[in-house]
Structure 1
């Protein structure tokens, strides 16, 4: 798989429904360009390792396919992605139950297909 693309699993912070974010590499790091619903039982190709870079949202990113949240965060406890919207006071991780205000930046994500 090309290092120009990165696919990472994400859970909807409102509904707990799974999705996959597609990132495209740009000069300064990776930007999310789309997210799609993940059908039950489907698996995206896995790869070991961690990608170290900056991560952001591209102009035109349509957000979470389940609730429409405009961005994403990585949980400080389980390190997994969840959707997030700047209008929300706090992030609530549907995987591990962690919650709190959002701060900082994402500087690494698990390799393609990682849960």
Structure 2
């Protein structure tokens, strides 16, 4: 089983862990730059290193990053829901320009 699959099958992170990880990511320019377009292997290595300081999970990136597992190497990029238009029609237009198909779990943080 790949490390990516292992991360996806973890229990959901606690609200406290998720909040700390997201705040750290959003205020730390290195991590934000890392998410501009990074291979999944690089991100998994980074998360593994960060686990020594606190529990990390790809779920912490919900609403601030998107993953593309259909390409090789798999990539992840910064896509913050706070930067989307507030107008719902315009928000959906931007979302579907960004990605043609979404799963419910992928789109949920961007439309809640």
| Larger RCO of the pair (alpha carbons < 8 Å, separation 6+) | 1
More helix by percentage: 2
More strand by percentage: 1
Highest Rg: 1 or 2? 2
- The normalised TM-score by structure 1 is 0.29
- The normalised TM-score by structure 2 is 0.29
